[in-house]
Amino acid sequence: MTIKVGDKIPSAKLTQATAEGPKEVSTDELFAGKTVVLFGVPGAFTPTCSAKHLPGFVQNFDQLKAKGADVVACMAVNDAFVMGAWGKDQGVGDKVMMLADGSADFTRKLGLELDLNARGLGTRSQRFALVAKDGKVTHIAVEAPGAFEVSRAESVLAAL
């Protein structure tokens, strides 16, 4: 079942690349007492994700913060090393937290998995964006296959 407005963010462990190596990030800690904008992409270094999705959140970071976001995070079913390299390539700095859901555990708990096995890509995340306040979803937008409209940074800004 897909997560919806009013639902609590499920408990899971994600991973973030740091200078000291991969660091575990608990969703319970990440979302507790904060307003978090989380967007999910099918994969790091993929065309729409690299050309539009991630850059939009980097470019609109100050406006997202001004509208109440404490954390802006990007998640993909990739490993922490790939997410870290993608963040460096995209120049995210400390604006967007780059989170890896390597086994798609969190993605499945959200009900947002995307089966791309037929294309040789395995299980991935659907393209989505959500806002959660103190661990409870206040906004969720999941893209139709091939679309890029409701999960873009500008759409999230309008929802904050």
Active site positions, annotated: 49
The span from the first CA to the last CA of the chain, in angstroms, equals 24
Closest Cα to residue 99, out of 2, 25, 157? Answer: 25
Cβ neighbors of 128 (< 8 A, separation 6 or more) are: 39, 40, 112, 140, 141, 142, 143, 151
- In whole angstroms, give the CA distance from residue 70 to residue 88: 21
AA identity, residue 102: G
